């Protein structure tokens, strides 16, 4: 199995490749329209063949997009994670533009050498590329490709702001019409948040909150979770039944978060004077999901399942439990010795006659590697 983190990297990188490929094919068609019946490039005198140009530009563009995407999602995005949006776009654009110039010079060198049937270090191939770089045609390509680069970069940044998969769902209209899904939810809330906020002050508390959520991100991604909402000091995470039940991902998520904060406890204590604690409630059920809003659109879940999960999380205070799980969820998860479940009570919601059995969850084995 490929690690979930790398699956996410591959999906995001593929988006860059597809954007570049689209722009590349458009460029090849525009080039054909401009050159018309010409059989060579006016700027260099190199023979022009539409079929070869289409293949080289298409493959080169797709490969260039994959390279940019991989650099972005695995390295550069982290470097600029704390910068403002315009700073990210500006500095990343300069970086990728320099990369693009080198990439196009190399691509042109390989293409010319192959067409002429000579090595890339042959003086004729080098001279053709030199003429191309010194011609406006080259810089027109840079401008056009730079636009593709910035579109891919803008897409990546907006997608990060909206949430992974949001643009994809909006584009395909997946939830344009409401649909019913069975999903697993975890409502995780910070303990004593009001007291912590009073002790730190609102600005410092907000800094803690950003770090608090940042430290939860990898555990959520590693267990295929989807961040549905941030509600003050509460985070709502959701899984499809398939992703959440696989290897008990939904429960492993809490375990990984818990271990992450144990590892970081010294830092939190030194930086803020307190280590934030948390409690979580789990439940599964059918929800209605769809787009909502006119001025600002969002994809939301509605149904008793969310209300029930929120109530389960609140019951953590009643039973002095760190994690409460409904029996409905336990029944659909694979059996595992990694978790211990202790029945502690039941929950009857207003307007409902059937009680929901509640179990406290404890860890029995060390967290799984990966």
Q: What is the pLDDT of residues 32-71, one digit of tens each?
A: 898 888 888 776 676 788 888 899 889 988 988 898 889 8
Residue located via tokens 């700027």: 43
| Beta-carbon count within 10 A of 75 CB | 9
- Single pTM value for the model: 0.74
Average pLDDT along the chain: 86
* For the chain, domain boundaries: 4-162, 178-363
Q: What confidence score (pLDDT) does residue 104 get?
A: 77
What 8-state DSSP symbol labels residue 355? P
Q: For 73-77, 91-95, 363-367, which range has the lowest pLDDT when averaged over its residues?
A: 363-367
Cα torsion 246, 251, 252, 256: sign: positive
Q: What share of the chain is helix, strand, coil (3-state, %, to 5)?
A: 60, 20, 20
**Residues 96 and 151: beta-carbon distance below 8 Å:** no
For 84-235, where are the alpha helices, taking DSSP H only?
85-116, 123-133, 136-162, 166-172, 193-200, 202-222
Q: Using CA atoms, how far apart are residues 292 and 176, in angstroms rounded to an integer?
A: 9
Q: Which residues pair with 226 in a beta bridge?
A: 238
Q: Using CA atoms, how far apart are residues 58 and 46, in angstroms rounded to an integer?
A: 19
| Beta-carbon count within 10 A of 51 CB | 8
Q: Residues 217-236: what's their mean pLDDT?
A: 92
Strand extents, DSSP E, the chain: 179-190, 226-231, 234-240, 278-292, 298-302, 323-326, 339-347, 356-363
Query: Residue 9 above 80 pLDDT?
Result: yes
Name 323's Cβ contacts closer than 8 Å, sequence gap at least 6: 254, 279, 280, 281, 282, 316, 360, 361, 362
Residue located via tokens 């940044």: 157
Distances (CA, A) of 276 to 183, 206, 322: 28, 13, 13
Architecture of domain 178-363: 2-Layer Sandwich (3.30)
Task: Measure CA 122 to chain center.
Answer: 44
pLDDT band at residue 370 under the 50/70/90 scheme = very low
């Amino acid at each position: 199995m490929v690690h979930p983190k790398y699956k996410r990297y591959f999906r995001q990188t593929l988006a860059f490749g597809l954007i570049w490929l689209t722009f590349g094919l458009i460029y090849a068609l525009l080039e054909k329209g401009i050159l018309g019946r010409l059989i060579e490039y006016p700027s260099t005198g190199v023979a022009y063949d539409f079929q070869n140009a289409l293949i080289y530009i298409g493959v080169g563009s797709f490969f260039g997009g994959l390279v940019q995407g991989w650099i972005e999602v695995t390295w550069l995005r982290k470097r600029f994670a704390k910068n403002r949006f315009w700073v990210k776009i500006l500095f990343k654009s300069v970086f990728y533009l320099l990369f693009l110039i080198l990439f196009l010079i190399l691509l042109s060198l390989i293409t010319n050498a192959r067409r002429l049937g000579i090595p890339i270090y042959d003086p004729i191939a080098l001279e053709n590329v030199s003429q191309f770089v010194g011609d406006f045609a080259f810089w027109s390509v840079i401008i056009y490709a730079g636009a593709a680069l910035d579109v891919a970069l803008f897409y990546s940044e907006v997608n990060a702001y909206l949430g992974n998969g949001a643009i994809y769902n909006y584009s395909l209209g997946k939830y344009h019409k409401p649909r019913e899904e069975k999903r697993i939810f975890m409502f995780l809330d910070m303990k004593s948040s009001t007291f912590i906020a009073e002790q730190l002050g609102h600005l410092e508390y907000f800094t803690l909150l950003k770090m608090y959520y940042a430290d939860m991100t990898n555990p959520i991604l590693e267990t295929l979770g989807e961040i549905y909402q941030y509600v003050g000091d509460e985070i709502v995470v959701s899984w499809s039944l398939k992703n959440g039940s696989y290897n008990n991902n939904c429960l492993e998520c809490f375990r990984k978060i818990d271990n992450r904060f144990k590892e970081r406890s010294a830092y939190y204590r030194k930086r803020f004077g307190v280590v934030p604690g948390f409690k979580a409630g789990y439940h599964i059920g059918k929800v209605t999901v769809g787009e909502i809003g006119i001025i600002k659109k969002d994809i939301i879940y509605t149904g008793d399942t969310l209300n029930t999960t929120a109530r389960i999380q609140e019951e953590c205070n009643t039973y002095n439990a760190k994690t409460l799980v409904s029996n409905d969820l336990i029944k659909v998860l694979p059996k595992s010795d990694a978790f211990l479940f202790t029945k502690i009570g039941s929950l009857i919601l207003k307007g409902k006659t059937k009680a929901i059995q509640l179990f406290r969850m404890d860890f029995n084995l060390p967290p799984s590697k990966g």
